[in-house]
């Protein structure tokens, strides 16, 4: 596969390491009363869609950026790639 | 002056050179390296420091060849600086004095082995070692990629027939072996 | 129709005019006691044991394509019970025992061949881990033995002991492990179930569940609604897709695993060899093809195909341990969808919805589990209580902290 | 007999003669021959045996789709089983053997199977061999296995090397027939980056096989000119002998270039083959079409070939398949073969056409009818024909050319699970709509069967493909040439035949397909799996269609409704070696060498693989014969004086930034905010699921600068994890990371005399006294007169110990210096074994304990997990089952009888009671012999272990036949108070 790195352009996916669903960015609040349940669901439950999927890839043999890749799990087509750090900020992980 | 004698990445006193009639692989032991990472909120200061050192700030995927200090882009807000080791063995400290708390400096000299590969078979050579689109790359283009399972950095020098390869120093022998056998296969 | 030596000879002489279809093609009835979704190995085995062992009636198996078309028809056919952990070893040993009597049980030759499986050891830490595992196997009443490099070399003279980057330091062997003709397993169970009245309905895709006030009343399908008292899902790689129709999120990701077969070769590989340190395992089919594989591609996929990097990774492992392979040729490569669970172990459990049951999370190890999985799922469906051998395979183990993590990789499915 | 069937003309070089051997007999052929053409030229028709019935077989085709003529090529370590004689380029000294036979090819004893063909029908095995159960492995299977398989693999290491490479292009053209050449020429002239690949050693595809002219040139001459122009263009790469094996995601293609397969051995240092990964913007598939046979009784005899193959052998290789040839066809193409043969002076004994309106000929007889049977066990002698009027007629001949029509070669269009669609007018499947990204199809591969059409579609496809990526191009002018329409009457098999072969290699006959239908295996995939149709080495290129058509007829449906089969990579069987490239043997994985490696080698150290690192395992002295002697000595030296060990392999990560301490608070379960500058602290890292991930120390060199160490094995994963936490979880934290593992050469100097030794290395202004530099201190220092260095007072051995780091280039010099100045203390280098013993004696957890399933509590560090801060894994580490009574806890283990062994991997059982899984109490993780205590010791995990110190238990390892009485003790075997390391 080819991952179109937002900074570096097209790169062979062999340069990357896969983690999983980009929802892993949304780490729960450790002080919430429901923390135990929240963390269980965060760590263990997955949508696992047959279709479009936001997922985390690490550019191990590259610039060491974590990327959020929007990829279709039925066709492997990739529609969007973003720096995970930017996505994390958009999802309100800035302090 | 201390009493310890350095060895090259390949373990020699002198760096190694392998000459094929169309290609030469030269171990370059003369470089000091330091990584330079901008601290949060000091990105602009760091640009200024880099401009001062290199003349131009290396943009994404680019290298700037300058004297005495050259540099290339490593990642977001992160660069690698190189300079002659004889004059700049303490490169990290030297730059740290200039940027202070604006940047995180880390000595990287020992982390890398450097090979300069020169010759007219260069393009065919590169096609056999890694997935860098070497024919499309311009002088000054850098590419971190993997060569025979080793995480390396490729820099196309301004002269089209020369590349510089940085690889993990502990695997200098394995990397050299890979380059050497490829050159042999092309001979 | 029972198969016997006499019958085979008779038919041969009569021009084979007497053979009948080995399963019917019935139209679905309006309501069943049991609907099994998924006409793969596990689904067909479940129906078979429901009818045969648990004497249940009015059973249907719904298959969206043709039976045996999923992982049971695209795996590398290995059976073994060389597991480490309490939750797993008794279950897989139960499965291996069922394999040992399977063909006589369902009167179909699935070519169960106990040619032995060997896990190579390359480091001291690996040896420590394999000794612990071998002991766990024996303590669970299974068989295991430690082989020296010399013993290994004797059986597999072509393994690399000259210039191996990671020298072979021994191996853990299970003689009762081996291979099975995978398609025949699906067909044998289908035939056995069909002959006991199970309706096997192909080209019938489940499009939804009819759930009212927390109870599952049946399934919507491409052939219309079919009612059921109990619905069991056994769709492996499609688990996420199917259960989402019941608004369930699972501790499962679907990944692609590639497998490879070489051209037919004269016998060279007596048993199954796994080279864990190099992501490679290999056996040889009765037709002569070397059947081999390695790691999953590593990214979520429902595409049933993989990519070059893993092909190369697998072959590098193969050449590292088996350097004569270089001159054999890959004939075909293909991919299957693996229901990779969060601890690498499966789930056989009720869901929070009355009458809806789930069987999945088999990762790339589902084939060897087929008989026990079917048996235990049938037990669960019949008695509403887990079979003792599968008691650990519950949904709630993750919330409780009772993971069954053979590899110790944690909640990252693509590492199991 | 010497090339009795050689004709005039052709594209062979008669000035170069090659001598070769087939089944021990010597023959001659020419440059440009294949093994098959050379054998035919020499009158050899019998080349192999079929898979199941061991029927005598000859060559069927002239290409890579060959199912029959498979041979073992070369011998010894280079032997290649199942090599297709039709694609083997003839070279001088070539050796080939027929395969899958018992005894000589002519008298294969296993041909007995053919006599029992009534038993060996499809699915036969599934119904029998079940009684008695035990007989399968012992009796039946060995017989079946020996009879099965085709060629044999030598058990010798493949002596050749393989390379890998990577190419980029705007347009990849697959296939160099008329369509491919036209496409490549169009794109080449436009200046686009083009790669043209063809599996053949001669470009031109069908143009090499026809008697056509293009304008005033012969077809091959025209192809030569085009190829010459393409080679002259700098932007075009022409790749002969290169097979595109697969279409992968996003325009990536796998290609195998055969560099040396046409040589007797590869040149020194040169690869046998190269695996190219080609990154394309666009691709044109121009792989042509493959003729298909017709099934009739005994249609598998040597001499029965595809009509187009006979034509190819005549036109390209100047070989007459035989002196007397008959053609059987259902379309006009069969007649083209007859015409060409006649023109070359070969006797055409007749053309049998199933069509009433077959074209007539003055040159040979055309019969309206069907071939109903053949004679000639080892080679065709006669064909029996049923004429339309019902009369039976026999024709003597040595070759029969069969043409059932042409199948577009859609193989690569299916690699991403695209399905072809049916076209009635040509009675064949053509590429479907869902093609791989960026692929278009031209020429016969797309169902355009005329030469003119192929050329036109090739140039058009190129223009269209290039315009998509913004490159302007002009269509080339198409030369005047053949433009005949397709005239075909679908005809798959002769009614009433039973032993009529559909899949020649796997011996699948019409009756097998009928039986498959009868037993309910009607879905295409069921048909394939039940009968093995199309599962042979040709992936059914010549057989799938026939099988499908018959199944459709039996099911009373149309062919497209009956389903389509889907092709899988690789396009043709591909050597496993080429996928591995150089990565085998010692080069399987790269090596990582420590800074002291060269020196350690000089000392004769034994090395061990730790991940990719090579570490010194122990340093034997003269006279030491057993490893234990060396290891015991090294351990005692550390405990009594001083030892030195290279610990560079531990991962080192530079953590800098204003919030570096806050960051460490997140990744470690224990607190770091308050760690003072100049101090180190042990850190335990959890995964988010609360299980221990890794451990190490963090040294605070400055307020905003830490150096974190990881275990050797986890250096990379931990770095990745830290970047995840930094970029994805706390994107605005001011922290920067970089690995410095290899920047520094780091040595552990351990033992009571370590301080005294280091005082001779470290420059005087650093005060090493216990007060000035106590346990867990760290500092930047200088050594040997001014070399920058880092000093950490940390201890893995439990002794007074330091770790000293210098820039890697000086690591070699430093170890030599340490040994030199340490002589007075008899400083002893120690390896990983001694390191292991020392840490087990102290009960320090390592890889065997941090095995991915253990919690801080299991490791006896439960108290470390801070509840007052947010750190990765802290919440899930509190799950009920992880903290419940009965959880495993790390303990020490010693044998009651000091002479008894204790081994890792053994299980713990109560002193009394049964020994089985149900009564398992725990297991041993690490064990060793302690030279200090004089007996074996171990650490392991025991249920409620912390409450069971002093308990007597049994340690069992049925696997290795060990049962030992042991006592549970504290894991701190030595200096439990830790006085030594604080000394």
Q: Which pLDDT score is estimated for D563?
A: 86
Contact indicator for B34, D654 with CB cutoff of 8 Å: no
pLDDT tier, D564 (very low <50, low <70, confident <90, very high otherwise)? confident
Q: Report if residue A95 sits inside a domain.
A: no
Residue-wise pLDDT for D913-952, tens only, equals 999 999 999 999 999 999 999 999 999 999 999 999 999 9
Exposed, middle or buried, D485 (CB in 10 Å: 0-12/13-18/19+)?
Answer: exposed
Q: How many CB atoms lie within 10 A of CB D635?
A: 26
Distance separating alpha carbons of residues D452 and D447, to the nearest angstrom? 13
Number of A/D CB contacts below 8 angstroms equals 79
> Out of B61, B76, B146, whose CB is closest to A65?
B76
A54 reaches C (C-beta below 8 A):
no
> Out of D274, D738, D806, whose CB is closest to B106?
D738
Q: Which pLDDT score is estimated for D149?
A: 87
Q: Report if residue A56 sits inside a domain.
A: yes
| Chain B residues with CB-CB distance to A85 below 8 A | 76
- Per the CB < 8 Å rule, is D876 touching C401? yes
- Domain D885-969 falls in which CATH fold? Elongation Factor Tu (Ef-tu); domain 3 (2.40.30)
Q: Which pLDDT score is estimated for D427?
A: 95
Q: Which pLDDT score is estimated for D144?
A: 83
> Out of B2, B38, B39, whose CB is closest to D787?
B2
Residue-wise pLDDT for D746-775, tens only, equals 999 999 999 999 999 999 999 999 999 999
Q: Report if residue A55 sits inside a domain.
A: yes
Residue of chain A nearest D435, judged by CA positions: A75
Q: Which pLDDT score is estimated for D131?
A: 79
Residue-wise pLDDT for C116-134, tens only, equals 999 999 999 999 999 999 9
Tokens coding D766: 């650093």
Residues 137-166 of C with CB under 8 A from D: 137-141, 144-146, 157-158, 160, 162-166
Residue-wise pLDDT for D623-639, tens only, equals 999 999 999 999 999 99
Q: Which pLDDT score is estimated for D372?
A: 97
Q: Is the peptide bond before C328 cis (omega within 30 degrees of 0)?
A: no
pLDDT at D495 over 70: yes
- Per the CB < 8 Å rule, is A25 touching D728? yes
Domain that holds residue A22: 2-90
Contact indicator for D379, D40 with CB cutoff of 8 Å: no
Domain count for chain A: 1
Contact indicator for D169, D276 with CB cutoff of 8 Å: no
Once rounded to an integer, what is the mean pLDDT over residues D368-396? 97
* Chain centre to alpha carbon of residue B48: 22
Q: Which residues of D touch A (CB under 8 A)?
A: 248-252, 277, 279, 416, 437, 688-689, 716, 720, 723-724, 727-733, 870, 874-876, 878-879
Residue-wise pLDDT for D675-701, tens only, equals 999 999 999 999 999 999 999 999 999
For chain D, the average pLDDT equals: 96
Q: Report if residue A85 sits inside a domain.
A: yes
Q: How many CB atoms lie within 10 A of CB C314?
A: 28
Contact indicator for D686, A30 with CB cutoff of 8 Å: no
Enter the CATH code of domain D293-404. Answer: 3.50.50.60
Q: Which pLDDT score is estimated for D165?
A: 98
DSSP assignment letter at A28: P
Q: Which pLDDT score is estimated for D710?
A: 97
- Per the CB < 8 Å rule, is C268 touching D690? no
- Give me the residue spans of the domains in chain D: 13-124, 162-289+408-468, 293-404, 643-837, 885-969
Nearest CA to CA, how far is D164 from chain B (Å)? 6
- Domain D162-289+408-468 falls in which CATH fold? FAD/NAD(P)-binding domain (3.50.50)
**Does the D13-124 domain belong in CATH 3.30.1330.10?**
no
Distance separating alpha carbons of residues D915 and C46, to the nearest angstrom? 34
pLDDT at D51 over 70: yes
- Per the CB < 8 Å rule, is B111 touching D742? yes
| Chain D residues with CB-CB distance to A86 below 8 A | 731
- Per the CB < 8 Å rule, is A2 touching D252? yes
Contact indicator for B145, B154 with CB cutoff of 8 Å: yes
Contact indicator for B33, B86 with CB cutoff of 8 Å: no
Domains D162-289+408-468 and D293-404 alike in fold: yes
Residue D788, SS3 per DSSP = strand
- With a pLDDT cut of 90, the percent of chain D lying above it is 94
Q: Which pLDDT score is estimated for D116?
A: 84
- The CATH number covering residue A32 comes to 3.30.2270.10
> Out of C241, C308, C398, whose CB is closest to A44?
C398
Would you say the ipTM is above 0.95? yes
- One digit per residue, pLDDT tens: chain C, 416 residues? 789 888 888 888 888 888 999 999 999 999 999 999 999 999 999 999 999 999 999 999 999 999 999 999 999 999 999 999 999 999 999 999 999 999 999 999 999 999 999 999 999 999 999 999 999 999 999 999 999 999 999 999 999 999 999 999 999 999 999 999 999 999 999 999 999 999 999 999 999 999 999 999 999 999 999 999 999 999 999 999 999 999 999 999 999 999 999 999 999 999 999 998 899 999 999 999 999 999 999 999 999 999 999 999 999 999 999 999 999 999 999 999 999 999 999 999 999 999 999 999 999 999 999 999 999 999 999 999 999 999 999 999 999 999 999 999 999 999 99
- Angle, CA C322 vertex, CA C321 and CA C326 arms, to 5°: 125
| Chain A residues with CB-CB distance to D731 below 8 A | 85-86, 88-89, 93-94
Chain B: list its partners (3+ Cβ pairs within 8 Å): A, D
pLDDT at D562 over 80: yes
Residue-wise pLDDT for B123-163, tens only, equals 999 999 999 999 999 999 999 999 999 999 999 998 788 99
| Chain A residues with CB-CB distance to B74 below 8 A | 63
Q: Which pLDDT score is estimated for D929?
A: 98
Distance separating alpha carbons of residues D407 and D128, to the nearest angstrom? 38
pLDDT at D1 over 70: no
Residue-wise pLDDT for D224-240, tens only, equals 999 999 999 999 999 99
Once rounded to an integer, what is the mean pLDDT over residues D386-403? 97
Q: Report if residue A57 sits inside a domain.
A: yes
pLDDT at D338 over 90: yes
Residue-wise pLDDT for D523-548, tens only, equals 999 999 999 999 999 999 999 999 99
- Per the CB < 8 Å rule, is A43 touching D724? no
pLDDT tier, B115 (very low <50, low <70, confident <90, very high otherwise)? very high
Contact indicator for D377, D303 with CB cutoff of 8 Å: no
- Show the 3-state SS of D949-970: CCCEEEEEECCCCEEEEEEEEC
Residue-wise pLDDT for A22-52, tens only, equals 999 999 999 999 999 999 999 999 999 999 9
Q: Which of D159, D188, D151 is nearest to D171 (CA)?
A: D188
| Cβ contacts of D751 within 8 Å, gap of 6 or more | D637, D638, D639, D640, D641, D642, D643, D797, D799, D800, D801, D825
Q: Which pLDDT score is estimated for D312?
A: 98
Tokens coding D252: 């990536």
> Out of A18, A41, A75, whose CB is closest to C299?
A18
Q: Report if residue A17 sits inside a domain.
A: yes
Residue of chain C nearest D691, judged by CA positions: C410
Distance separating alpha carbons of residues D843 and D972, to the nearest angstrom? 5
Residue-wise pLDDT for D859-869, tens only, equals 999 999 999 99
Tokens coding C315: 């072959």
Number of C/D CB contacts below 8 angstroms equals 355
- Per the CB < 8 Å rule, is D166 touching B8? no
Q: Which pLDDT score is estimated for A90?
A: 97
| Chain A residues with CB-CB distance to C249 below 8 A | 41, 45-48
pLDDT at D671 over 90: yes
- Show the 3-state SS of D835-868: HHHHHHHHCCCCCCCCCCCCCCCCCCCHHHCCCC
Q: Report if residue A18 sits inside a domain.
A: yes
- Per the CB < 8 Å rule, is D732 touching A94? yes
Strands, DSSP E only, in C222-328? 224-233, 252-264, 272-275, 280-284, 289-300
Mutation to test the B interface, candidates D234, D596, D804, D809, most B Cβ within 10 Å: D809
**Does the D643-837 domain belong in CATH 3.40.50.300?**
no
């Amino acid at each position: 596969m080819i991952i179109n790195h937002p900074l570096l352009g097209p790169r062979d996916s062999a340069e990357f390491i896969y983690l999983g669903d980009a929802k892993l960015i949304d780490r729960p609040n450790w002080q919430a009363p429901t923390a135990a349940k929240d963390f269980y669901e965060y760590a263990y439950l997955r949508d696992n869609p047959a279709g479009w999927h936001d997922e985390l890839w690490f550019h191990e043999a590259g610039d060491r950026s974590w990327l959020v890749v929007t990829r279709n799990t039925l066709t492997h087509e990739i529609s969007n790639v973003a720096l995970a750090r930017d996505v994390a900020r958009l999802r309100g992980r800035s302090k | 002056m201390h009493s310890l004698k350095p060895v090259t990445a390949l373990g020699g006193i002198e760096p190694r050179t392998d000459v094929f009639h169309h290609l030469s692989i030269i171990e370059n032991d003369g470089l000091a390296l330091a990584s330079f990472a901008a601290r949060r909120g000091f990105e602009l200061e760091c640009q200024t420091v880099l401009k001062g050192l290199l003349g131009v700030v290396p943009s994404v995927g680019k290298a700037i060849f300058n004297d005495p200090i050259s540099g290339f882009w490593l990642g977001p807000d992160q660069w690698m600086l190189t300079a002659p080791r004889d004059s700049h063995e303490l490169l990290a400290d030297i730059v740290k004095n200039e940027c202070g708390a604006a940047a995180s400096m880390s000595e990287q000299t020992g982390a890398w082995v450097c090979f300069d590969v020169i010759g007219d078979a260069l393009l065919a050579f590169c096609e056999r070692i890694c997935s860098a689109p070497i024919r499309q790359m311009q002088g000054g283009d850098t590419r971190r990629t993997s060569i025979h399972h080793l995480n390396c950095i490729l820099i196309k020098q301004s002269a089209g027939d020369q590349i510089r390869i940085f690889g993990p120093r502990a695997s200098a022998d394995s990397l050299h072996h890979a380059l050497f056998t490829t050159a042999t296969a092309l001979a | 129709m029972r198969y016997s030596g006499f019958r085979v000879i008779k038919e041969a002489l009569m021009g084979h005019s007497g053979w009948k279809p080995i399963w019917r093609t019935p139209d679905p009835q309006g309501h069943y006691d049991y609907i099994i979704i998924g006409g793969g190995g596990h689904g067909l085995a479940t129906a078979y044991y429901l009818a045969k062992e648990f004497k249940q009636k009015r059973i249907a198996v719904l298959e969206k394509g043709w039976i045996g078309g999923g992982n049971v028809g695209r795996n590398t056919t290995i059976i073994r019970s060389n597991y480490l952990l309490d939750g797993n070893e008794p279950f897989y040993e139960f499965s291996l025992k069922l394999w040992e009597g399977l063909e006589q049980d369902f009167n179909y030759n699935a070519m169960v061949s106990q040619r032995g499986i060997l896990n190579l050891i390359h480091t001291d830490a690996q040896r420590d881990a394999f000794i612990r595992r071998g002991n766990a196997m024996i303590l669970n009443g299974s068989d295991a033995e430690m082989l020296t490099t010399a013993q290994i070399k004797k059986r597999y003279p072509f393994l690399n002991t000259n210039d191996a980057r990671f020298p072979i330091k021994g191996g853990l062997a299970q003689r009762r492990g081996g291979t099975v003709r995978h398609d025949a397993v699906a067909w044998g169970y289908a035939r056995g179930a069909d002959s006991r009245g199970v309706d096997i309905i192909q080209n019938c895709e489940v499009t939804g569940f009819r759930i009212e006030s927390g109870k599952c009343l049946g399934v919507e399908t491409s052939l219309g609604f079919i009612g059921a008292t109990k619905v069991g899902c056994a769709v492996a790689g499609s688990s996420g897709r199917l259960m989402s129709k019941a608004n369930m999120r699972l501790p499962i990701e679907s990944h692609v695993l590639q497998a490879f077969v070489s051209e037919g070769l004269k016998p060279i590989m007596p048993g199954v060899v796994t080279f864990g340190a190099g992501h490679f395992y290999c056996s040889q089919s009765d037709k002569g093809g070397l059947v081999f594989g390695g790691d999953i591609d590593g990214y979520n996929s429902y595409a049933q195909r993989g990519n070059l990097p893993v092909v190369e990774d697998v072959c590098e492992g193969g050449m590292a341990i088996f350097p004569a392979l270089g001159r054999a040729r890959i004939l075909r490569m293909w991919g299957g969808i693996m229901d990779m669970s969060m601890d690498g172990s499966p789930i056989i459990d009720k869901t929070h919805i009355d009458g809806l049951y789930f069987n999945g999370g088999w990762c790339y190890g589902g084939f060897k589990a087929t008989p026990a999985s079917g048996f235990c799922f049938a037990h669960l469906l019949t008695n509403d209580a887990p079979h003792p051998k599968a008691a650990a395979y519950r949904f709630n183990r993750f919330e409780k902290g009772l993971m069954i993590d053979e590899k110790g990789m944690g909640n990252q499915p693509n590492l199991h | 007999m010497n090339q009795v069937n050689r004709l005039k003309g052709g594209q062979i070089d008669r000035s170069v003669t090659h001598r070769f051997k087939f089944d021990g007999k010597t023959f001659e052929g020419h440059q440009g021959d294949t093994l098959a053409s050379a054998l035919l030229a020499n009158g050899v028709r019998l080349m192999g045996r079929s898979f199941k019935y061991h029927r005598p077989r000859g060559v069927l085709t002239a290409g890579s789709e060959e199912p029959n003529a498979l041979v073992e090529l070369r011998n010894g370590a280079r032997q290649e089983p199942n090599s297709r004689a039709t694609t083997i380029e003839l070279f001088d000294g070539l050796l080939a053997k027929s395969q899958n036979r018992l005894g000589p090819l002519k008298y294969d004893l296993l041909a007995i199977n053919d006599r029992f063909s009534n038993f060996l029908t499809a699915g036969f095995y599934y119904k029998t061999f079940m009684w008695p159960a035990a007989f399968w492995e012992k009796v039946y299977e060995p017989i079946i296995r020996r009879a099965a398989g085709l060629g044999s693999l030598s058990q010798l290491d493949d002596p050749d090397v393989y390379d890998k490479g990577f190419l980029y292009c705007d347009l990849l053209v697959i296939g160099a027939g008329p369509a491919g050449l036209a496409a490549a020429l169009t794109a080449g002239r436009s200046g686009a980056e083009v790669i043209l690949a063809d599996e053949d050693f001669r470009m031109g595809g069908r143009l090499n096989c026809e008697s056509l002219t293009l304008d005033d040139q012969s077809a091959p001459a025209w192809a030569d000119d085009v190829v010459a122009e393409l080679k002259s263009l700098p932007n075009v790469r022409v790749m002969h002998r290169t097979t595109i094996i697969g279409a992968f995601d996003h325009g990536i293609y796998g290609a195998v270039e055969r560099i040396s397969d046409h040589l007797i051995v590869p040149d020194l240092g040169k690869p046998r083959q190269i695996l190219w990964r080609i990154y394309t913007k666009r691709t044109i598939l121009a792989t042509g079409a493959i003729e298909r046979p017709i099934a009739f009784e005994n249609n598998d005899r040597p001499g029965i070939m595809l009509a187009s193959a006979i034509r190819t052998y005549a036109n390209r290789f100047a070989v007459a398949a035989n002196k007397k040839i008959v053609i059987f066809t259902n379309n006009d193409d069969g007649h083209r073969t007859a015409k060409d043969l006649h023109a070359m002076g070969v006797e055409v004994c007749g053309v049998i056409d199933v069509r009433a309106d077959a074209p007539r000929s003055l040159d040979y007889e055309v019969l309206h009818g069907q071939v109903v049977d053949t004679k000639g066990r080892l080679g065709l002698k006669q064909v029996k024909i049923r004429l339309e009027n019902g009369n039976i007629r026999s024709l003597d001949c040595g070759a029969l050319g069969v043409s059932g029509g042409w199948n577009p070669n859609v193989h690569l269009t299916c690699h991403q699970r695209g399905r072809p669609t049916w076209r009635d007018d040509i009675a064949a499947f053509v590429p479907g709509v869902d093609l791989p990204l960026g692929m278009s199809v031209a020429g016969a591969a797309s169902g355009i069967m005329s030469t003119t059409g192929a050329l036109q579609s090739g140039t058009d496809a190129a223009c269209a493909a290039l315009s998509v990526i913004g490159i302007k191009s002009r269509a080339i002018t198409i030369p005047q040439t053949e433009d005949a329409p397709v005239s075909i009457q679908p005809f798959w098999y002769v009614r009433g035949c039973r032993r009529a072969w559909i899949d020649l290699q796997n011996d699948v006959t019409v009756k097998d397909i009928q039986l498959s239908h009868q037993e309910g295996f009607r879905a295409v995939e069921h048909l394939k799996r039940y009968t093995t149709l199309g599962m042979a080495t040709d992936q059914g290129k010549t057989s799938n269609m026939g099988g499908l058509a018959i199944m459709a007829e039996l099911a009373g449906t149309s062919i497209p409704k009956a389903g389509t089969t889907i092709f899988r990579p690789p396009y043709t069987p591909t050597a496993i070696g080429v996928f591995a490239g150089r990565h085998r043997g010692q080069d399987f994985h790269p090596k990582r060498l420590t800074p002291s490696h060269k020196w350690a080698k000089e000392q004769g150290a034994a090395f061990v693989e730790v991940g990719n690192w090579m570490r010194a395992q122990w340093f034997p002295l003269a006279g030491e014969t057993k490893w234990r002697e060396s290891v015991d000595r090294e351990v005692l030296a550390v405990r009594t004086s001083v030892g030195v060990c290279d610990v560079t392999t531990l991962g080192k990560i530079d953590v800098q930034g204003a919030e570096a301490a806050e960051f460490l608070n997140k990744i470690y379960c224990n607190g770091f905010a308050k760690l003072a500058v100049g101090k180190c602290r042990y850190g335990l890292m959890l995964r988010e699921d609360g299980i221990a991930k890794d451990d190490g120390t963090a040294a605070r060199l400055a307020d905003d600068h830490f150096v974190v160490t990881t275990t050797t094995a986890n250096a990379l994963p931990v770095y990745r994890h830290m970047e995840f936490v930094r970029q994805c979880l706390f994107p605005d934290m001011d922290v920067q990371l970089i690995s410095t593992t290899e920047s520094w050469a780091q040595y552990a100097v351990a033992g009571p005399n370590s301080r005294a030794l280091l005082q001779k290395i470290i420059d005087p202004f650093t005060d090493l006294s216990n007060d000035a530099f106590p346990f867990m201190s760290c500092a930047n220092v200088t050594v040997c007169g001014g070399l920058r260095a880092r000093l950490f007072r940390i201890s893995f051995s439990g002794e007074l110990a330091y770790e000293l780091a210098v820039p890697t280039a000086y690591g070699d010099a430093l170890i030599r210096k340490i040994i030199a100045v340490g002589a007075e203390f008899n400083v002893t280098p120690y390896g990983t074994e001694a390191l292991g013993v020392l840490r087990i004696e102290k009960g320090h957890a390592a890889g065997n304990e941090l095995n991915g399933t253990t919690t801080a509590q299991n490791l006896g560090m439960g108290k470390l997990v801070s509840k007052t801060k947010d750190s990765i894994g802290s919440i899930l580490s509190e799950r009920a089952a992880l903290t419940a009574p009965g959880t495993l806890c790390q303990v020490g283990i010693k044998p009651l009888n000091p002479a008894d062994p204790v081994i890792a991997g053994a299980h713990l059982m109560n002193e009394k009671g049964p020994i089985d899984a149900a009564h398992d109490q725990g297991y041993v993780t690490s064990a060793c012999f302690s030279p200090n205590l004089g007996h074996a010791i171990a650490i392991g995990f025991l249920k409620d272990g912390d409450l069971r110190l002093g308990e007597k238990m049994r340690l069992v390892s049925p696997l290795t036949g060990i049962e030992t009485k042991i006592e549970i003790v504290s894991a701190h075997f030595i200096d439990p108070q830790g006085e030594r390391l604080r000394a």
